[in-house]
């Protein structure tokens, strides 16, 4: 499996606090069947976690890669970021301050949990206009989309891809997030399930449980698409498998 969203780089955000934690996370990922993982530190959270593209960020990534190699962990690491959406996000991308996932066409982005759905729509359209393909992290957790889920059909049909957190499938983020995650799966709106891992004791990078849940409640084919086939296409910078994006009933 390939994990496209994990806060494994130490000391950069609210994820791993030190290299030892990152190595433990890497070990857990490998044991669960993860072969590749994209490190996605929070970016563009001004005054908190800015983490724009820089030589310092790349050096931190290389240090972790070397530590993983020394520990002989069979995990390939790739660099990206989870970009907090702001009104100038498209401009920041054009200026080269934002990193796509594994140097691909795909940019992982997030909104504030209480942002308005129409504000989200405006920002997503701006990002699409840059030519990059947005992947929206954990939409099932956004309050506005829990109230107005059908807007996601238009987004997916317009070229946006959606990533569900594995914790939402287990109920870790609450009933509303679980319900919307299931709704997204029922309407074939999701392109990915990822860990959004933050540490080694909870919110871990273990993906085997999510694979089993998807295979049991839906199909192994869907589990493969969301946890292996589409993520591998990101690494190869290839087009993703298209979602059906079934419309909601009025």
Q: What is the pLDDT of residues 78-112, one digit of tens each?
A: 999 999 999 999 999 999 999 999 999 999 999 99
The Cα 117–Cα 197 span in angstroms is: 25
Per-domain residue ranges of the chain: 2-235
Q: What is the DSSP letter of 160?
A: -
Instruction: State the pLDDT at residue 250.
Output: 59
Are 204 and 13 in contact, with CB atoms under 8 Å apart? no
Low-confidence spans in the chain with pLDDT less than 70: 250
Here the tokens at position 141 are 């957790």
Structure pTM? Answer: 0.97
Contacts of 223 (CB under 8 A, 6+ apart): 210, 211, 212, 214, 215
Task: Tell me the pairing of strands 106-110 and 82-84.
Answer: parallel
Tell which residue, 131, 43, 121, 117, has the closest CA to residue 84: 43
Instruction: State the pLDDT at residue 87.
Output: 96
Q: What is the CATH number of domain 2-235?
A: 3.20.20.140
Tell which residue, 140, 148, 139, has the closest CA to residue 176: 140
Residue bearing tokens 């949990």: 113
Cα angle for residues 60, 65, 67 (degrees, 5° grid) = 95
Q: 19-31 and 55-70 are packed helices; what angle lies between their axes, rounded to 10 degrees?
A: 60
The Cα 170–Cα 99 span in angstroms is: 30
The Cα 86–Cα 130 span in angstroms is: 15
């Amino acid at each position: 499996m390939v994990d496209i969203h994990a806060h494994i780089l130490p000391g950069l955000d609210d994820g791993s606090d030190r290299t030892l934690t990152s190595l433990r996370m890497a070990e857990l990922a490998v044991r669960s069947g993860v072969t590749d993982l994209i490190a996605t530190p929070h970016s563009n959270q001004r005054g908190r976690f800015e983490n724009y593209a820089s030589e310092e960020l790349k050096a931190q990534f290389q240090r972790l890669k070397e530590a993983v190699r020394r520990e002989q962990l069979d995990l390939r690491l790739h660099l990206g970021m989870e970009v907090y959406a702001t009104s100038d996000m498209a401009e920041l991308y054009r200026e080269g301050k934002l990193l796509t996932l594994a140097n691909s066409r795909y940019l992982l982005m997030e909104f504030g949990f209480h942002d308005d759905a129409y504000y989200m729509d405006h920002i997503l359209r701006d990002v699409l206009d840059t030519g990059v393909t947005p992947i929206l992290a954990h939409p099932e957790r956004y309050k506005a989309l829990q109230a107005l889920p059908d807007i996601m059909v238009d987004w997916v049909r317009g070229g946006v891809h959606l990533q569900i957190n594995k914790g939402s499938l287990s109920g870790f983020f609450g009933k509303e997030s679980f319900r919307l995650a299931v709704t997204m799966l029922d309407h074939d709106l999701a392109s990915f399930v990822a860990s959004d891992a933050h540490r080694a004791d909870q919110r871990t990078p273990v993906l085997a449980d999510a694979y089993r849940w998807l295979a049991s409640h839906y199909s192994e084919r869907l589990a493969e698409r969301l946890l292996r086939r589409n993520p591998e296409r990101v690494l190869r910078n290839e087009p993703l498998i298209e979602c059906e994006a079934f419309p909601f009933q009025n």
